[in-house]
Amino acid sequence: MSSNRIFVALGLLSTALLVVPRPVAGQSFNPENGHSYFAFEAWMPYEEAGQLAALVDGTRVIIDDASEADWLTAEFGVFHWIGLDDTLTEGDFIWNTGASVTFSDWSPGQPADSSVEYDAVFRTSDGWATAPIDATRRPVIETEVLLLPPLSGLTCTDDGVLCQLLIDWEDGGYDEIRVYEDFELLAILPGTETSFIGEDAPTGYSSGSTYTLVGVIGGQLTVPVSCASYDPNPNYTIRIGDAVVVDDAPVDVSVFLDVSGSDPAQGFSLGVCEYPASSLQVESVAPGAASGPFIGGAWDFFSPILVDEGFALGVVFSFVGFETLAIGSDYEIVVASYTPLAPPPLDVSLEPCSTIGTPSVHTVVVAADEGRVPIQLPGTLTIAASSFIRGDCNADQGVNLADVLFLGTRLFDPLVHDYPCREACESNGDSAIDIADMVYSLSYLFSSGDAPVDPFPQCGADPDPPGDFGCEQGVCP
């Protein structure tokens, strides 16, 4: 089995360069409509996903009905672009094919109404949501014709000397291979071609080119496969943690750094955006526990930017270079405090982004005085509805005399004020927590009075939106 190689001169950079494949995450055929689908593992902006689709005469996925939506979820999951936007007329969402929308599955509060233009649409676990076109999501591409499997055995490497991008793949008996640079046709290679030289000079870690290869056999196209010169350095990973919050209670989300290479981290910059937008409010951003061992328990430079859509910051551990983060995992580098703004239930995606600040802050780890693009993993903040039994003030899964005494202690002893779930103590449903709730519960328990209002006697969510009380924690299993 022979091998073909493309040599693409990338030019000498002041930043470290790594090039790896962007593999295909999956390929499938939908027997209901006869269409072919594929997805990339790498997240990309909306416009880039459209350019990828155009290489094989496809489109970002079009969803015609609930059956197709369910099929897509089973095949490719969620958090991917669909071919819907309002780029032509604000507020008028149409499919990329020009067709009007006859089926929709918007999440609550969507499409977003914001001063920022949220033109593109992606799928979440709760339905469709809008995002800026320069946000990144996984692309799922749909074609009307069946595509052949992608080129196999693709490897993309940097030679480490001349900053040459080396692309290898296995010979699959192709008639020709089309090579695209940033989705523009760069060359058409015969199936027997063994080398190709092209020029490229990216200006920094975030502006390298993407090279995409499409094979042709008997007029049929293969699924595209590509390499990007700005793909992440595997020695560094920035990961946003997951969290769960009940109703509108404040919640902290941690950001972690893993270092596996020989060069310790000297600092980092980071942007984090929330999708759907306007779901959260960032209250504060503080150094994480990883700053504790440093001199004075702090880093030399920590400068956050807080905006409506998220936050960004730059960090220098030590200006003189004495203190770094060496090989290790789960370094807690940031703790961001959020207050939910959207009603539950909702999954909010917290993602590394490069749209905050002027100039925009990019996600970079500094090591050996060089900016290195890390692997970037998003997190999910789940806004859950409080679940409780009305009258179960002490959260022991039942309503009895102990709940009356529990509430009485907190009403009349100024030193005791902890409640597992304040809403549960409001047994009479009059929007106040007072002695009337104690009397109401006693009447129910011992005088055949009215039962507590819903949710009762089983666990359930508050039928009214969260008010002045809420639950500090979910008290039902």
- Segment (H or E) for 36: strand 35-40
Q: Is the dihedral of CA 113, 118, 119, 123 positive or negative?
A: negative
Instruction: Using only the alpha carbons of the chain, give its radius of gyration.
Output: 27
Q: Assess whether the previous peptide bond of 457 is cis (omega < 30° from 0).
A: yes
Torsion of CA 97, 99, 103, 109, to 10 degrees: 80
The SS3 of residue 408 is: helix
Q: Domain ranges for the chain, please list them.
A: 3-22+154-228, 24-143, 233-384, 387-461
Euclidean distance between CA atoms 79 and 43, whole angstroms: 10
Q: Assess whether the previous peptide bond of 378 is cis (omega < 30° from 0).
A: no
Inter-residue contact 278 to 307 (CB < 8 Å): no
pLDDT of residue 280: 92
pLDDT of residue 9: 42
CATH class of the domain defined by 24-143: alpha beta
Euclidean distance between CA atoms 146 and 236, whole angstroms: 38
Low-confidence ranges of the chain (pLDDT < 70): 1-23, 113-118, 156-166, 194-208, 228-231, 359, 464-475, 477
pLDDT of residue 204: 30
pLDDT of residue 79: 84
Domain 387-461: assigned CATH number: 1.10.1330.10
Report the amino acid identity of residue 367. Answer: A
Inter-residue contact 74 to 65 (CB < 8 Å): no
Residue 75 has phi, psi (to 5 degrees) of -85, -40
pLDDT of residue 297: 81
pLDDT of residue 32: 93
Euclidean distance between CA atoms 213 and 113, whole angstroms: 39
The SS3 of residue 443 is: helix
Among candidate residues 313, 314, 270, 318, the one with its CA nearest the CA of residue 294: 318
pLDDT of residue 458: 86
Domain 233-384: assigned CATH number: 2.60.40.680
pLDDT of residue 113: 67
What are the Cα distances from residue 44, in Å, to 69, 80, 228, 379? 21, 10, 11, 17
pLDDT of residue 465: 54
Report the amino acid identity of residue 199. Answer: E
Euclidean distance between CA atoms 121 and 107, whole angstroms: 11
Q: How many CB atoms lie within 10 A of CB 367?
A: 24
Structure tokens at 350: 């917290």
418 burial via Cβ count (<10 Å: 0-12, 13-18, 19+): exposed
123-161 burial, b for 16+ CB within 10 Å, e for fewer?
bbebbbbbbbbebbbbbbbbbeeebbebbeebebebeee
The SS3 of residue 392 is: coil
3-state secondary structure 37-59: EEEECCCEEHHHHHHHHHCCCCE
The whole-model pTM stands at 0.54
Structure tokens at 15: 């930043």
pLDDT of residue 201: 33
